[in-house]
Structure formats: structure tokens, C-alpha cells
Amino acid sequence: MTTLINFVTHSRLWRSFFRHGMPDNPLDRSLVMTTNIFFHLHPVKVNVKSIRAGYSMGLGVITLAAFISLTITGVLLMFYYVPSVERAFVNIVDLQTKVPFGQLLRNLHRWGAHLMVLITVLHMARVFYTGAYKPPREFNWGVGVILLILTLGASFTGYLLPWDQLSFWAITVGTSIASYEPFMGPIIKKILLGGPEVGQESLIRFYALHIMIIPLFMALLISLHLWRVRKDGGLAANEVKD
Ligand code: HEM
């Protein structure tokens, strides 16, 4: 049996897939980590505590999954949605009532967005609770804070797009609150709305922010965030001595 396993794991076919032998020795174990793109997200040596489900509760990965799902469903929604005050609401009603799986698509996007906000906050709470914000991870904590603000920004800008009463008044109230910021308040409101009140100019601005500017920054920062997790030596639990 051992001879057969040796023969298979040293064959050219096995090597073309795995590039290392059976991971039953320290060298092959580390090659498993360094030659596989998915495992490579972990450092070469991983403390068993850091991969225990109860440590991170997978909250960062769930946030990432929510972001990917929102990107896919968002791109599909763009096939129907037109950011015009005359057409936006009718589009959404048509999508829900006439387009096959339209309601499912919209709900996946809407509920996914709520879920992402919730899970991002829980992920941040977990990082705080386990003290993983401390050096050398303080930079990644900072990146995380910007990601949280961008997540809330994506949620806020998406809120206006259905152009129903809820959207209209939520954004009217939200931007009025922003206008009370002592120094830049009125300017922030003007930049966001593109005019004195919520209208076509606001819709197109929120649309551009929602589908392009915010997701682009998020994708860049998420890549930086994950790269930093790797460069900081994996999750903070890796530093715990057994
Ligand atoms: C779009 C939002 C975010 C995504 C996709 C994301 C993703 C991830 C992933 C996949 C990990 C590694 C696995 C895990 O801890 O579950 C991680 C770790 C980490 N995240 Fe986030 N994150 C986000 C937001 C945040 C926020 C809001 C903060 C804090 C303000 C934060 C701070 C950190 C820190 C410090 C680590 C390292 C944790 C450790 O070493 O134990 N992240 N993040």
C-alpha cells in the first residue's frame, strides 16, 4: 500500500496537480501551504487555535462572501434598472412582477446588503474582543474601519435607487442630518444631492457612487485587507504559544 501511495504521489500526473508529495513530512506540509493559492492565504505554519471555527467564527469570510454575492446580483440588476426618476420605480415594480426570478434577485441583493452590514459589525466586534487590533495589526484595523464606512456608504446610496417613498424620505432625512456637520455639512449635502433637494441629479450621483465608485474602492481595500492578514502572520491567534 505504502509503495502504491509513493508511486502515485511521485508520478508526473500527481505532481502536475499538487507539486508536492503526500503531506506526511514537514517539507511537504509546508509545500501544501505555499503552492496552493487558497491555502497560501494562510501563513506556512498555522496555529490550530486560529483555524478553530470558534475563533474567527468565519465572520470575515462571510463578509467577503456577501460582498461577492452583492457584486453578482448587483450586476444582474443593472440589466433592468435605469437611474431615471421617471423609470426607476416602474423598473423595480416590473422586475418584481414580470421578470422571471426578478423578485428573488432583488431580495438577494437587498437582504444580502443588510446581512453584510450586520456581519461586518460582528466581524469588527470579534476582532476587538480577541484583541487582534493590536500591533502589528493596527494598520489592518484602520483599513477595516474604512471598509466599514464604505459598506455603510454602499448601503445608504443603494437605498435611494428604488425611488419609492421610503427611499425618497430616507435620503431626504439622511442628507439633512449630514448638513448639520459643523464645517463641511452644507457642502457635503450639496455634493451628494447635486441640488437643493432630492431629485434626478441626486439619483444619478447615488447610482454612480453605488455601482462604481464605492465597490471599486471596496474591492481594492478588501484585497489590501486580505494581503495584510497574510503579511501580519495570519490571524492573531497564530502568535499564541501552545
Ligand atoms: C468589507 C468588509 C470586510 C471584509 C470582507 C473583511 C475580511 C476579513 C477576513 C476574510 C479576515 C480573515 C478571517 C477572519 O478574521 O474572519 C479578516 C481579518 C481581520 N479584519 Fe476584516 N474584513 C472586513 C471589515 C473589517 C472591519 C470593519 C475591521 C475593523 C475595524 C476589520 C479588521 C480586521 C482585522 C484586524 C483582521 C485580523 C484579525 C486577526 O488577526 O485575528 N475588518 N477580515
CATH number, residue 68:
1.20.810.10
Structural domain contains residue 98:
yes
Structural domain contains residue 240:
no
124: Cβ below 6 Å to ligand 1? yes
Indicate the number of domains in the chain.
1
Return the residue matching grid coordinates 471596496.
218
50: Cβ below 6 Å to ligand 1? no
Structural domain contains residue 35:
no
Q: Given pLDDT bands bounded at 50, 70 and 90, which one contains residue 240?
A: low
Using the predicted structure, report yes or no on whether residue 109 has a pLDDT greater than 80: yes
Q: What is the pTM of this model?
A: 0.88
Share of the chain above pLDDT 90, in %: 74
Structural domain contains residue 46:
no
Closest ligand 1 atom, residue 236 Cα = 40
The 10s digit of each residue's pLDDT in 153-200 is: 999 999 999 999 999 999 999 999 999 999 999 999 999 999 999 999
47: Cβ below 6 Å to ligand 1? no
Return the residue matching grid coordinates 509545500.
31
Return the residue matching grid coordinates 425618497.
168
**How many CB atoms neighbour CB 108 within 10 A?**
18
22: Cβ below 6 Å to ligand 1? no
Name the residue range of residue 111's domain. 58-234
Closest ligand 1 atom, residue 221 Cα = 1
